[in-house]
Amino acid sequence: MIKNMTIGQYFPADSFVHKLDPRTKLIITFILIIFVFLIHSLPGYISMVAFLALTIAFSKISFRLVLKSIRSIWFVIFITFILNIFFLKGEEILFEWQFIRIYREGLIKACEMAGRLVILVIISSMLTYTTSAKEITDAIEILFGPLKKLRFPVHEMALMMSIALRFIPTLLEETDRIMKAQTARGASFDTGGLISRIKGMLPILIPLFISAFKRAEDLALAMEARCYHGGDNRTRLVEYHYKFRDLIAFALTALEIVIILIAK
Protein backbone atom coordinates (compact mmCIF):
# COMPACT_ATOMS: atom_id res chain seq x y z
CA MET A 1 0.00 0.00 0.00
CA ILE A 2 1.31 3.43 -0.92
CA LYS A 3 0.48 6.55 1.05
CA ASN A 4 1.14 10.18 0.25
CA MET A 5 3.30 12.23 2.58
CA THR A 6 2.56 15.84 3.42
CA ILE A 7 5.71 16.87 1.56
CA GLY A 8 4.58 15.07 -1.57
CA GLN A 9 6.60 11.85 -1.36
CA TYR A 10 5.51 8.22 -1.16
CA PHE A 11 6.38 5.41 1.19
CA PRO A 12 5.13 1.86 1.75
CA ALA A 13 3.11 1.56 4.95
CA ASP A 14 3.82 -2.11 5.65
CA SER A 15 7.60 -2.27 5.28
CA PHE A 16 10.06 -3.10 8.07
CA VAL A 17 11.73 0.32 7.85
CA HIS A 18 8.45 2.21 7.93
CA LYS A 19 7.35 0.41 11.10
CA LEU A 20 10.46 1.51 12.96
CA ASP A 21 10.13 4.17 15.62
CA PRO A 22 10.78 7.58 14.02
CA ARG A 23 13.31 8.31 16.75
CA THR A 24 15.21 5.18 15.70
CA LYS A 25 15.28 6.27 12.06
CA LEU A 26 16.38 9.78 12.97
CA ILE A 27 19.20 8.58 15.24
CA ILE A 28 20.42 6.04 12.67
CA THR A 29 20.34 8.71 9.96
CA PHE A 30 22.52 11.08 12.00
CA ILE A 31 24.94 8.27 12.88
CA LEU A 32 25.31 7.19 9.25
CA ILE A 33 25.84 10.77 8.07
CA ILE A 34 28.64 11.21 10.61
CA PHE A 35 30.37 7.94 9.78
CA VAL A 36 30.19 8.54 6.02
CA PHE A 37 32.97 11.09 6.51
CA LEU A 38 35.10 8.48 8.29
CA ILE A 39 35.18 6.16 5.29
CA HIS A 40 38.55 6.27 3.51
CA SER A 41 38.79 2.86 1.88
CA LEU A 42 37.07 0.91 -0.87
CA PRO A 43 35.84 -1.88 1.50
CA GLY A 44 34.24 0.80 3.68
CA TYR A 45 32.32 2.26 0.74
CA ILE A 46 31.29 -1.21 -0.42
CA SER A 47 29.95 -2.06 3.02
CA MET A 48 28.01 1.23 3.19
CA VAL A 49 26.49 0.66 -0.26
CA ALA A 50 25.52 -2.89 0.76
CA PHE A 51 23.94 -1.55 3.97
CA LEU A 52 21.93 1.05 2.02
CA ALA A 53 20.86 -1.56 -0.55
CA LEU A 54 19.64 -3.76 2.31
CA THR A 55 17.76 -0.79 3.78
CA ILE A 56 16.10 -0.02 0.44
CA ALA A 57 15.07 -3.67 0.11
CA PHE A 58 13.57 -3.70 3.63
CA SER A 59 11.74 -0.43 2.95
CA LYS A 60 10.13 -1.81 -0.25
CA ILE A 61 11.03 1.35 -2.14
CA SER A 62 11.89 1.06 -5.82
CA PHE A 63 15.48 1.80 -6.79
CA ARG A 64 14.13 4.09 -9.50
CA LEU A 65 12.70 6.40 -6.84
CA VAL A 66 16.05 6.49 -5.04
CA LEU A 67 17.90 7.23 -8.28
CA LYS A 68 15.43 10.03 -8.93
CA SER A 69 16.53 11.74 -5.71
CA ILE A 70 20.16 11.48 -6.86
CA ARG A 71 19.33 12.87 -10.29
CA SER A 72 18.06 16.09 -8.70
CA ILE A 73 21.61 17.01 -7.56
CA TRP A 74 23.64 15.50 -10.39
CA PHE A 75 24.96 18.97 -11.29
CA VAL A 76 26.37 19.49 -7.77
CA ILE A 77 27.97 16.04 -7.87
CA PHE A 78 29.47 16.77 -11.31
CA ILE A 79 30.90 20.16 -10.22
CA THR A 80 32.37 18.58 -7.07
CA PHE A 81 34.00 15.86 -9.14
CA ILE A 82 35.48 18.33 -11.65
CA LEU A 83 36.83 20.69 -8.98
CA ASN A 84 38.56 17.87 -7.13
CA ILE A 85 39.97 16.14 -10.19
CA PHE A 86 41.52 19.29 -11.68
CA PHE A 87 42.57 21.30 -8.63
CA LEU A 88 43.94 18.65 -6.26
CA LYS A 89 47.61 17.90 -6.77
CA GLY A 90 49.61 14.78 -5.99
CA GLU A 91 52.74 12.90 -6.92
CA GLU A 92 51.64 10.60 -9.77
CA ILE A 93 50.45 12.32 -12.97
CA LEU A 94 47.86 10.35 -14.97
CA PHE A 95 47.15 12.92 -17.69
CA GLU A 96 48.90 16.10 -18.80
CA TRP A 97 48.05 18.52 -21.57
CA GLN A 98 49.43 22.06 -21.61
CA PHE A 99 48.46 23.55 -18.22
CA ILE A 100 45.96 20.77 -17.38
CA ARG A 101 47.22 18.02 -15.10
CA ILE A 102 45.25 15.19 -13.56
CA TYR A 103 46.90 13.44 -10.63
CA ARG A 104 46.12 9.99 -9.32
CA GLU A 105 45.44 11.40 -5.86
CA GLY A 106 43.07 14.00 -7.33
CA LEU A 107 41.12 11.34 -9.24
CA ILE A 108 40.77 9.20 -6.12
CA LYS A 109 39.65 12.19 -4.04
CA ALA A 110 37.15 13.26 -6.73
CA CYS A 111 35.59 9.79 -6.82
CA GLU A 112 35.52 9.73 -3.02
CA MET A 113 33.76 13.10 -2.70
CA ALA A 114 31.23 12.26 -5.42
CA GLY A 115 30.53 8.92 -3.76
CA ARG A 116 30.02 10.60 -0.39
CA LEU A 117 27.51 13.05 -1.85
CA VAL A 118 25.55 10.21 -3.46
CA ILE A 119 25.53 8.24 -0.19
CA LEU A 120 24.43 11.29 1.82
CA VAL A 121 21.56 11.94 -0.57
CA ILE A 122 20.43 8.31 -0.37
CA ILE A 123 20.57 8.33 3.44
CA SER A 124 18.51 11.51 3.75
CA SER A 125 16.09 10.30 1.06
CA MET A 126 15.50 7.05 2.92
CA LEU A 127 14.46 9.06 5.99
CA THR A 128 12.00 11.25 4.08
CA TYR A 129 10.67 8.37 1.96
CA THR A 130 9.85 6.20 4.97
CA THR A 131 8.84 8.81 7.56
CA SER A 132 6.11 11.42 7.44
CA ALA A 133 6.85 15.05 8.22
CA LYS A 134 4.83 14.87 11.44
CA GLU A 135 6.79 11.82 12.64
CA ILE A 136 10.09 13.59 11.93
CA THR A 137 9.10 16.70 13.90
CA ASP A 138 7.72 14.60 16.77
CA ALA A 139 10.96 12.62 16.91
CA ILE A 140 13.03 15.82 16.95
CA GLU A 141 10.91 17.24 19.77
CA ILE A 142 11.26 14.06 21.85
CA LEU A 143 15.01 13.67 21.27
CA PHE A 144 15.70 17.32 22.09
CA GLY A 145 13.36 17.19 25.09
CA PRO A 146 16.18 17.39 27.69
CA LEU A 147 17.06 20.85 26.34
CA LYS A 148 13.80 22.13 27.84
CA LYS A 149 15.59 22.21 31.20
CA LEU A 150 17.90 24.81 29.66
CA ARG A 151 14.84 26.81 28.56
CA PHE A 152 15.43 25.95 24.91
CA PRO A 153 12.14 26.25 22.92
CA VAL A 154 12.08 22.65 21.68
CA HIS A 155 8.35 22.51 21.01
CA GLU A 156 8.39 25.81 19.11
CA MET A 157 11.32 24.61 16.98
CA ALA A 158 9.54 21.36 16.14
CA LEU A 159 6.34 23.27 15.38
CA MET A 160 8.14 25.59 12.96
CA MET A 161 9.71 22.62 11.17
CA SER A 162 6.34 20.89 10.92
CA ILE A 163 4.67 24.00 9.49
CA ALA A 164 7.54 24.57 7.04
CA LEU A 165 7.36 20.99 5.75
CA ARG A 166 3.58 21.20 5.55
CA PHE A 167 3.60 24.34 3.41
CA ILE A 168 6.31 23.25 0.95
CA PRO A 169 3.82 21.64 -1.48
CA THR A 170 1.45 24.58 -1.00
CA LEU A 171 4.16 27.08 -1.95
CA LEU A 172 5.16 24.93 -4.94
CA GLU A 173 1.59 24.93 -6.17
CA GLU A 174 1.38 28.68 -5.61
CA THR A 175 4.61 29.21 -7.55
CA ASP A 176 3.31 27.13 -10.46
CA ARG A 177 0.05 29.08 -10.48
CA ILE A 178 1.85 32.44 -10.48
CA MET A 179 4.22 31.33 -13.27
CA LYS A 180 1.30 30.22 -15.44
CA ALA A 181 -0.50 33.51 -14.79
CA GLN A 182 2.58 35.58 -15.65
CA THR A 183 3.26 33.47 -18.77
CA ALA A 184 -0.32 34.10 -19.92
CA ARG A 185 0.42 37.83 -19.61
CA GLY A 186 3.45 37.49 -21.89
CA ALA A 187 6.24 37.06 -19.33
CA SER A 188 9.25 34.90 -20.26
CA PHE A 189 11.48 33.14 -17.73
CA ASP A 190 13.89 31.16 -19.94
CA THR A 191 15.10 33.74 -22.46
CA GLY A 192 17.86 36.34 -22.33
CA GLY A 193 21.00 36.46 -20.25
CA LEU A 194 21.53 35.75 -16.57
CA ILE A 195 20.60 39.30 -15.50
CA SER A 196 17.43 39.22 -17.59
CA ARG A 197 16.39 35.91 -16.07
CA ILE A 198 17.00 37.20 -12.55
CA LYS A 199 14.86 40.26 -13.28
CA GLY A 200 12.23 37.99 -14.80
CA MET A 201 11.90 36.18 -11.49
CA LEU A 202 10.70 39.31 -9.68
CA PRO A 203 7.09 38.99 -10.96
CA ILE A 204 7.10 35.54 -9.34
CA LEU A 205 8.92 36.23 -6.08
CA ILE A 206 6.96 39.33 -5.05
CA PRO A 207 3.47 37.72 -5.28
CA LEU A 208 4.86 34.53 -3.74
CA PHE A 209 6.24 36.37 -0.70
CA ILE A 210 3.00 38.31 -0.29
CA SER A 211 0.99 35.08 -0.45
CA ALA A 212 3.34 33.36 2.03
CA PHE A 213 3.09 36.22 4.55
CA LYS A 214 -0.69 36.24 4.20
CA ARG A 215 -0.89 32.50 4.81
CA ALA A 216 1.38 32.86 7.84
CA GLU A 217 -0.81 35.62 9.26
CA ASP A 218 -3.98 33.58 8.69
CA LEU A 219 -2.39 30.57 10.38
CA ALA A 220 -1.30 32.65 13.38
CA LEU A 221 -4.80 34.12 13.77
CA ALA A 222 -6.34 30.65 13.52
CA MET A 223 -4.01 29.30 16.22
CA GLU A 224 -4.77 32.24 18.51
CA ALA A 225 -8.53 31.81 17.94
CA ARG A 226 -8.19 28.18 19.08
CA CYS A 227 -6.28 29.29 22.21
CA TYR A 228 -3.12 27.51 21.17
CA HIS A 229 -0.16 27.78 23.54
CA GLY A 230 3.26 26.18 23.91
CA GLY A 231 4.20 22.58 24.50
CA ASP A 232 3.81 22.52 28.28
CA ASN A 233 1.49 19.73 29.49
CA ARG A 234 0.47 18.87 25.93
CA THR A 235 -0.27 15.25 25.02
CA ARG A 236 0.29 13.45 21.71
CA LEU A 237 -2.19 11.58 19.60
CA VAL A 238 0.41 8.85 18.97
CA GLU A 239 2.80 7.68 21.68
CA TYR A 240 6.04 6.17 20.38
CA HIS A 241 7.60 3.10 21.99
CA TYR A 242 10.76 1.20 21.11
CA LYS A 243 10.17 -2.39 19.98
CA PHE A 244 12.27 -5.40 19.12
CA ARG A 245 12.65 -4.36 15.47
CA ASP A 246 14.23 -1.10 16.66
CA LEU A 247 16.86 -3.13 18.52
CA ILE A 248 17.51 -5.08 15.31
CA ALA A 249 17.95 -1.83 13.39
CA PHE A 250 20.39 -0.47 15.99
CA ALA A 251 22.30 -3.77 15.96
CA LEU A 252 22.66 -3.72 12.17
CA THR A 253 23.79 -0.10 12.30
CA ALA A 254 26.36 -0.94 15.01
CA LEU A 255 27.64 -3.79 12.85
CA GLU A 256 28.04 -1.42 9.90
CA ILE A 257 29.94 1.06 12.08
CA VAL A 258 32.31 -1.70 13.22
CA ILE A 259 32.93 -2.70 9.59
CA ILE A 260 33.67 0.92 8.67
CA LEU A 261 36.12 1.34 11.55
CA ILE A 262 37.88 -1.94 10.73
CA ALA A 263 38.10 -1.02 7.04
CA LYS A 264 39.47 2.41 7.99
Residues 222 and 245 in one domain: no
Least confident of 2-16, 208-222, 223-237: 2-16
Residues 92 and 126 in one domain: yes
- Looking at residue 31, its pLDDT comes to 93
54-65 average pLDDT score? 85
Alpha helices in 131-236 (DSSP H): 133-143, 154-184, 194-200, 202-225
36-46 average pLDDT score? 87
Residues 14 and 117 in one domain: yes
Domain housing 176: 153-233
Give the number of domains in the chain.
Answer: 2
Residues 107 and 57 in one domain: yes
Alpha helices in the chain (DSSP H): 22-36, 42-59, 63-71, 74-87, 104-130, 133-143, 154-184, 194-200, 202-225, 244-263
The answer to whether 88 and 110 are in contact (CB under 8 A) is: yes
**126-154 pLDDT per residue, tens:** 888 888 878 888 888 888 888 878 878 78
Is a pLDDT exceeding 60 seen at residue 228?
yes
Is a pLDDT exceeding 80 seen at residue 84?
no
- Model confidence at 105, in pLDDT bands (50, 70, 90)? confident
Residues 179 and 72 in one domain: no
Is 257 contained in some domain? yes
Residues 13 and 26 in one domain: yes
Is 142 contained in some domain? no
Residues 123 and 63 in one domain: yes
- Model confidence at 6, in pLDDT bands (50, 70, 90)? very low
Residues 221 and 255 in one domain: no
Q: CA–CA separation, 88 vs 90, rounded Å?
A: 7
